[in-house]
A and B are shown apart, each in its own frame.
Chain A
Amino acid sequence: MLRLHPYEYHRPRTVNEAIALLAEHAGDAMPIAGGTDLVPNMKHRLFTPGHLVSLRGIEEMRGIGEDEAGFTIGAATSLDHVATDEAIRNALPSLARACSLVSGPQLRRMGTLGGNVCLDTRCTYYNQTLFWRKALGYCLKKDGTACHVVKGGTRCVAAHSADAATALLPLDAELRIAGPEGERTTPIGGFFTSDGVWNRRMSPGELLVSIHVPRQRAGTRHSFQKLRARDSIDFPMLNLAVRVDFEADGVVAGVQMAASAMGSYPRKLGKLDEGVAGAPLTESVVEALAREAFRQCHPLTNIPVDAEWRRAMVPVLVRRAMVEIRA
């Protein structure tokens, strides 16, 4: 069995206590919620913090609140809780769906929505044991200098692989982040960066406290599509979150799409409204959107699955999303 390194485990009861612990052990501390991603990563020696700050005992970070503005979901709320919550399923079905497609039942009960938003990027040359990575000569993301996905590349392109985070993008979610300097709120659209080593605009001393999802306007429809090898367990080979806003008369007001499991951040596709706004969502409109999405998506070999096939699945997922949205 792979062994964990020695560490001290802290059990704060409040966000402030947690922030203080992270500050006290700055550079050698990490927060842990469900641990479903962090623990295997520690066994692979991708992270070896001397201090783990557990978020499981912090009440204010758990649960789902609903008011007129929308939903506020504690970052330490389990994915299973979000996936099965009646109100979320009714009001934000694409988010519930995305959460229900993460890994398997046991891990969804441990894994959290905040953990999913902050999920470390993944790569076939990175998510391996220390022995394996050492045999390779390490990589740009951890302990090495070379990228093996893009030979000669100087920027890490490990794949953003979070299902729920992708679904949150077209929902215009906002993230409440606490740190030593106090709290701030940031739209999820501006949260991710293209640096695969650390793809979040958030310092290691900060904590994602909650996720706010505004009430969706009438006439807005969402769909979340995940491409995975098995019908459980697996990380995405491709993710697509789609939002279509309809006018009262049924014509399209706007289209948004976010795709992930390609590069280091969930990619918001552009120029989707052109020639679409004001038209009904017909087959030919869907085909035009599928073509445009295909043009903009370029999966990499950071996942050991045929990248050409993954790219060809982009329009398929667009069509399937639109079938759901038109239903």
Chain B
Amino acid sequence: MHPDELNALQRAAADDPGIAGFPGPDGLRVLGRRNRKPEGLRKNTGAEAYTDDLALPGMLHAKLLRSPHPHAQIVSIDTQHATRIVGVHAVITGEDLPTKYGIIPWTRDEQALAVDKVRYVGDAVACVAAVDEDTANAALEAIEVEYEVLPFYLEPEQALTAEAAAVPIHGPKREGRNGNVTKHVELEFGPVDDLMAAADVVVEGDYYFHGTTHAPIEPHCAIGHVDADGLLTVWSSTQVPHYLQRELARVLGLDVARVRVVQPAVGGAFGGKSEPFDLEFCVALLALRTGRPVKLLYTREELFYSHRGRHPMRMWYRVGASRDGKLKAVDARSLLDGGAYASFGLVTTYYSGQLLTAPYELESYRFDSTRVYTNKPPCGPKRGHGSVQPRFAFEISLDKLAAELGLDPIELRRRNFMGTGRTVNEFRVQSNGFLECLEAVERASGWKEKHRKLPYGRGVGVAGSCYISGTNYPIYPNDMPQAAVQVQVERSGRVSVLHGASEIGQGSDATMAAIAAEELGVPLGYVRVLSADTDIVPVDLGAYSSRETLMVGNACVSACRQVAERVRGSVGSALGIPPERVRLAGGWAFDAEEPTRDDRRLPIAAAFQIAEAEHGTLGAIGHYNTPKEGVHGEYRGGTIGASPAYSFTAHVAEVEVDPETGFVDVKTIWVAHDCGKALNPMLVEAQMEGSAYMGFAEAIFEHQVMKRGNPEGGLHDAPSLLDYRIPTSRDCPEFVSLIVESADPEGPYGAKEAGEGPLHPSLPAIANAIWDAVGVRMDALPFTPDRVWRALRDHSARSA
């Protein structure tokens, strides 16, 4: 090794505050610190390349023709005039891509372009590739589609009627059923009716979640390209490259091995990019047809149509408890408004019940959930998939229960804490920091001085929740690992981490880099990360259900430790000490028992070179698969909602309600989250704040809703960021993030998820705070001023 190279690495190690410092009490030097994201500077300086920033020579631009009707039969499509326009290279319709797809293999009900009918305003019907966007738009105008309009259903209750079943949105799977029902799930654990009857107090309520969308800043974008050998590459702003690769091959009739999916930097996803979309199939087919690269970028309006946001949900809850506040029985019934296609709906229907069973001990529990098709943009997974709505209903129920029993709502929650062990639906919980979360928000918010004690108009509310760190089973059944990571060590000391996780802003690249730096003893700046390119990196299933840190993290630890073991062995021989005494840290390989002795340490690059000389090129692949034994029940559906580890959250929200106008000003949200172990507290806090922000936004501002009436019925009310109101910085409360660590045995270094769980309590905590402030129960979202004003008016009419 050239002495200059050696100095550079050692200097970098000395300059790196993470690595140069003494290890923390947990023995970690890189993890647990506020390290910068590897892509941070690129993003902040505008240098990052998102999909739309990519341009290939000869690239064409594609546009989608969309349905103006909420429900209609396609009688004919005439593309002749469009194809004759100068600059138009290809026009495709549903017949060109007839294979049905869908993220859940049992409910494939989508086609890239509608074949026989359209099911919502915005359903894609045809796609044009042209030399530029203006020519493509002109070609769309020239396509003639004849429709036969059908009756349409904007409410699930409407879609469930016999008349609607006669003209269903999708044909029934079995004769005699209403095709408008996507999925019905009914599960009961313990004697609910008996315990409810015996309960000292029963709280009943009707709750409503209104529907919201993800609104990422980056619209969906995809580029299709076919090279000289006929290999197809699709660059896409997806969060599931692996599933996309499989579905592209299936729909296009290609060998999976000849399809490559690359995910460039993604500007926000939140679940809205976690399944294949029309544009990805279209650019692929158009590239195959034209022999030219083809790009399609959604307009902002199209995001509101592709949607896959949170399901509107009507929920009926009965909660029974004993006099001392112990929960005896929970009886839940939910109606999910699915929109026009299944998407993840089968899972959503299960999640609407399965994910409610922690952190509280439920003696008995029953849920009955039905997902129904409607003629609206399809709903799917949004941050906190399927469980934000029931959590809203349940945590308000708990607040009412506390009020009825004269108990402090935090005390009520404490009394029902389940600890670790089995939930009523048999999920295995191995770590649970919920009590610490409750205590943290209670103390930080000054709860005891505030609850029921603030002047009229001001109030505090509490809520808790639980979420999964990845799903125990992949979306398509298989026994292979869920995640894998390949680590390569170069002679300079530079380490490459190749992994399949989708970096969507949450920090998976940063996390993998930090794990590699920690395990191999190099400075963070010596780790390169390459992710989400299906030709090059090992498989990962994608950024959904908060699985990346736990699953890809574990795979990364495994790969690094295989390399480290070889290095320690070689260094041990060289220094004449047993390998287990060799530590790799801070840019050095050294004797853990005599770390200061110069003759008992080697620069890490030199250590790698000794190991490479002995073992050959240094590299390893690690993988992770979920535990299958004893982590869930054996009943039908018992695997859905099962996770290797569960995270827990508690919020206290403080609000000020203007009783004259109905405006709710959320002042502060204290968020305590048990993430197991914060591998980077800055990123964990960012996830906690971002989650609480998103929940707050859904509670107070956002509403994905269609117009009613004729002729506007089925048109999106406000498909723009002017009228779909995501809060600005001026509208935000203070967020106080309080990290709780409970170290789960299944997580890397004990880590669990932090990206979705902290969203849940925002909505019910705000609702409970409004009650504390003005004595009104807001059981239906959103809490826009007109609705709060009406609730206050009705309340005073009742009391008068």
Contacts and interface: CB of A to CB of B under 8 A. Distances in A.
A229 interface: yes
Interface string B421-459: 000000000000000000000000000000000000000
A139 to B, nearest CB: 10
A131 B789 contact: no
B716 A132 contact: yes
Interface in A220-260: 227, 229-235
Given A3-B133, A230-B701, A304 B725 contact: no
A157 to B, nearest CB: 16
Given A135-B68, A136-B715, A232-B730, A309 B725 contact: no
A257 B701 CA distance: 30
Contact of A230 (B121, B712, B715, B727): B727
A100 B69 CA distance: 41
B722 A306 contact: no
| Chain B contact surface mostly | loop
A69 interface: no
Contacts of B573: none
A131 B301 contact: yes
A3 B134 contact: yes
A65 interface: no
A316 B722 contact: no
A91 B625 CA distance: 71
A230 B730 contact: yes
A230 B789 contact: no
B322 interface: no
Nearest to B134: A3
Interface in A291-327: 304-306, 309-310, 312-313, 316
A218 interface: no
B786 interface: yes
A3 to B, nearest CB: 6
A231 B728 contact: yes
Interface string B33-63: 0000000000000000000000000000000
Interface string A108-146: 000000000000000011001101101111000000000
B717 A304 contact: yes
B137 A3 contact: yes
Nearest to A40: B722
Interface in B628-685: 660-662
Given A3-B134, A132-B301, A135-B121, A304 B723 contact: yes
A167 B718 CA distance: 28
A134 B66 CA distance: 11
B725 A229 contact: yes
A307 B396 CA distance: 29
B785 interface: yes
Contacts of B719: 128-129, 132
B673 to A, nearest CB: 27
A230 B731 contact: yes
Interface in A35-60: none
A81 interface: no
B784 interface: yes
A148 interface: yes
Interface in B695-739: 701, 707, 711-712, 715-719, 722-723, 725, 727-728, 730-731
Contacts of B727: 230
B133 A233 contact: no
Contact of B722 (A132, A233, A309): A233
A104 interface: yes
Nearest to B298: A1
Contacts of B731: 230-232
B428 to A, nearest CB: 44
30 contacts: A1-B297, A1-B300, A3-B137, A129-B299, A129-B301, A132-B715, A134-B68, A135-B68, A136-B712, A137-B711, A229-B701, A229-B784, A230-B701, A230-B727, A230-B728, A230-B731, A231-B728, A231-B731, A232-B730, A233-B728, A234-B725, A304-B723, A305-B786, A306-B787, A309-B785, A309-B786, A310-B786, A312-B789, A313-B661, A316-B661
Given A3-B133, A132-B716, A135-B121, 13 more contacts: A2-B300, A3-B134, A124-B723, A125-B712, A129-B299, A134-B68, A135-B69, A136-B715, A230-B727, A231-B731, A234-B722, A309-B662, A313-B661
Interface of A: 1-3, 104, 124-125, 128-129, 131-132, 134-137, 148, 227, 229-235, 304-306, 309-310, 312-313, 316
